[in-house]
Structures are given as C-alpha cells and as structure tokens.
Structure 1
Amino acid sequence: MNTVITKNFDYGEKEIQYLKSADPVLGRAMSQMGKVERMVIPDLFTALVHAIVGQLVSAKAVETIWARMQEKLGVITPQRIVAHSAEDIQSSGITMKKAACIMNLAQTIEQGLLDLQELYELSDTQVIQKLSSLQGIGPWTAEMMLIHCMERPDVVSWGDMAIRRGMMKLYNLGSLTKKQFEEYRQVYSPYGSVASIYLWSISFR
C-alpha cells in the first residue's frame, strides 16, 4: 500500500519557553506532558483531503477511514481521485457530501482552476478566505490545513471543539466565551499553533 508521507510539526525550545513564560498555567501542563508531537502531511492536496475527512468525526474514525481510503485509492492525488467515482470515495466510510467535495476539489485542480501552491504566498487570513470559497470547505478545515500541512506558527481554532475543551480543562472553566478564547489566543501569539498542539492533548487526557 502506498502510504502518505508525514512528519511532525516542527517546534522546539524557543516556542516552548515562550509559552511557559507567557502563560504559567499552560506552562505547568507543558512541563508535566513533555514534548507533544503532532503529525503533519506536507503535501497540500493530501492534507486538504485529510482535513475534509476529519470534519465532525472523531480522531479514531479519521484513522480508520484514512487507512481504508489509501488502501482503495493508493496515494491521495488529484489524478487518483478523478480516476474514481464519488461512490468509490464514499465507500471508504465518509458521507456522500464529503466524497463529492473531495471529487470537486480534485477536478478543480486537474482542470487548472486552482493551484494550491499559491497558498504559500498568502497570509493565514487569505488562505482561510481562499479555501473557504471552495465547496464543502469552511474556516475550520482551512485552519487544520494551516497547522497540519503548512506548519503556520500562530493558529488557534475557535471552531475546533477539542481545542475549546482543552482550554476549559486547563483553566477549570465551566464554559468558554469567544471573548475569553480570544484573550487566551492573544497570550499564546505568536506561537498559537504549539499551544493548540498541547490543548488537543489536554482535551483527551
């Protein structure tokens, strides 16, 4: 089976020390946990398909579906996707809506109407706007792409339930307002993505 090339999100002492001094509560949790690794898929198309698969399903379900999809389709490229039907993609265990979205994305790229490489020249906000204009892709999917593919350093997603849950556990909050979230996000900046990696881990502990 052709497997997708992955690596870990690249960060080190500089980011860890900054966050520990900016937020002692997060810092204590980070010291207890040690370095937390987060998988990154460097290929833009593959990472975007992975993010679409991950919409509104658990990490465990994503793992199963993703393995099945690679078994069925091989390396996840636009060419491979368009050579199959939306039904083939759906049979990996995703909804027809997601399958159609992935098919539409592959066709748009194959027809030369979208060049994902251009995303590297855009700011985080512009990447989110550009990707959100595509069928079936919203801000959360774009933000996951910014972290799990492009390794942008300062992304904390309000739309990610696990990140919000991680914040609530970390700070002992019964609920979390958008205003509170924004305040924490600003404290983590410019290394919000590393804070996100720890918040995900905290939410599942």
Structure 2
Amino acid sequence: MHKERLKSKEVLAAHLDGLAARDPRLKPVIAQCEEVPLRETEDGFEGMAKIVVGQQVSVAAASAIWGRFASLMDNVCATEFLAHREEDVRGAGLSANKFRTLCAVAEAERTGDLRFEKLADLPPEEAIETLTRIKGIGPWTAEIYLLFCLGHPDIFPAGDLALQKMVGHINGLEDVPKEKETRALAEIWSPYRGAASRLMWRYFAVLRDKEGIVL
C-alpha cells in the first residue's frame, strides 16, 4: 500500500496512475478531467475551522465568512477563538450550530482530549473515532479533515452527495447509491481512495459545467 500522503501534485499524479491501473474504467475519466486539484489545506484547529465554516454554504459564501472569521484573530487557533465573544464570532456569519461545534473542538484541544498533532499517526478508523467523539463533528467532517488537512491517501467520504452521484454514474446505476453502497463500491479503489475522491469531485464539475449534464 502506498503510504505517501497527498501533499504534492507529484504524489497525487502517481496515485492517479495507480488508480487507473487498478480500475481501467477510470483512464478516460482522468483524461477528461485534465488537472485534478490537490485541495490541500492547513491542519490543526485552523483547518478544522475552515471545514466547519464551509459546510452547507456555497464556495463564495464560505470564502467571505472565512475572511471575516479569520480577521478576528491574529492567529486562527483554539486559544484565540475561545477568547472571543459569541456575538463577535457569529457576527462573521457563523450559525449557532457551527459556533457550538467550534467551541467543542477548541475546548477539546484546550483540555488535551483532542491532540491534532497525533491524528496523523493513528489508523484512519481511530482518527475518525477520535474526531467524532466531539459534539458537532460527524463522519463526513472527520473524513474531510483527514483527506485535505492530513493528506490521507486512502479516505473516501462516502456520505458526500457529489461522490455518491459519481460512483453511481461510473457504475451505471439508475439511482444514486446511499452512503453504505457508495463506500462498498469505492473499495475497489483502495489504497488510492484519496486520489479517487479528488477525481470524482473534479469529474462531477466537468460533467456539470463543461457538458451541461444534469446530475
């Protein structure tokens, strides 16, 4: 199994090659997608905060909210976050639920219940379990953190609707598969599921934007 983390375009390209060798159906998909974005982001509290802020809003809205949120602090970290009043943080555009989630994450880090620097050393199942013990952090959020903040090479967030649609499309299914079926169908792409998830998101954008296909 390739254990190189997806922290560079070169590593991603190598994993896409491995993915195509493992599942030849993906060779034309990779060719059609051209460049697949790495989408690497910061780890630690800042990375988790960026994921939470961006949930269930458009890319443009997430960017605007994040800009206001980050400007409140000299350094986006748990200590500085906890030093701010709720009305100031929510004034940046965060919902009450997102504010409570980040409070729980910050408190867990402050008390030592969550040690971000240790997550990369854990098996993914344990890392996900550690994160989902925090109120407000579900499996999708935990998997997205491992995927983009830690560059884990074999994570596939099967609860993501775009990924479900693409897995159904690749497999010729009439109905969009649910999370459990999506996860099972994506098993064939292990140990390159991190690259597969990036490819499927890119493929979704290509079909939607370039070809006008309704998904």
Which bin holds the TM-score, normalised by the shorter protein?
Answer: 0.7 to 0.9
Query: Matches of 2:87 and 2:186 in 1, distance apart?
Result: 40
- The aligned counterpart of 1:53 is 53
Within 5 Å, which residues of 2 pair with 1:77-156? Answer: 77-156=77-156
- The aligned counterpart of 1:4 is none
- TM-score w.r.t. structure 1 length? 0.86
For the structure 1 residues 183 and 110, does the alpha-carbon distance in structure 2 shift closer, same or farther, using more than 3 Å as the test?
A: closer
Identity %: 28
* Contact 2:101/2:136, CA 8 A, preserved across alignment: yes
SS in 2 for 1:47: helix
* Contact 1:147/1:155, CA 8 A, preserved across alignment: yes
- The aligned counterpart of 1:197 is 198
- List alignment gaps of at least 5 residues for structure 2: 1-6, 207-215
Q: Report the alpha carbon displacement of residue 63 of structure 1 after superposing the two structures with TM.
A: 2.0
Q: Report the alpha carbon displacement of residue 176 of structure 1 after superposing the two structures with TM.
A: 3.0
Q: Which amino acid aligns with 1:46?
A: E
- The aligned counterpart of 2:72 is 72
- The aligned counterpart of 1:34 is 34
- List alignment gaps of at least 5 residues for structure 1: 1-6
- The aligned counterpart of 1:17 is 17
For the structure 1 residues 154 and 136, does the alpha-carbon distance in structure 2 shift closer, same or farther, using more than 3 Å as the test?
A: same
- TM-score w.r.t. structure 2 length? 0.82
Give the number of equivalent residue pairs: 199
Query: Matches of 1:60 and 1:174 in 2, distance apart?
Result: 32
For the structure 1 residues 82 and 38, does the alpha-carbon distance in structure 2 shift closer, same or farther, using more than 3 Å as the test?
A: same
* Contact 1:25/1:171, CA 8 A, preserved across alignment: no
Query: Matches of 1:142 and 1:26 in 2, distance apart?
Result: 26
Query: Matches of 1:161 and 1:45 in 2, distance apart?
Result: 25
Query: Matches of 2:161 and 2:73 in 1, distance apart?
Result: 30
SS in 2 for 1:159: coil
SS in 2 for 1:203: helix
Q: Which amino acid aligns with 1:77?
A: C
CA RMSD for the aligned pairs? Answer: 2.1
* Contact 1:19/1:195, CA 8 A, preserved across alignment: yes
For the structure 1 residues 171 and 65, does the alpha-carbon distance in structure 2 shift closer, same or farther, using more than 3 Å as the test?
A: farther
For the structure 1 residues 187 and 103, does the alpha-carbon distance in structure 2 shift closer, same or farther, using more than 3 Å as the test?
A: same
Query: Matches of 1:13 and 1:194 in 2, distance apart?
Result: 8
Query: Matches of 2:105 and 2:156 in 1, distance apart?
Result: 25
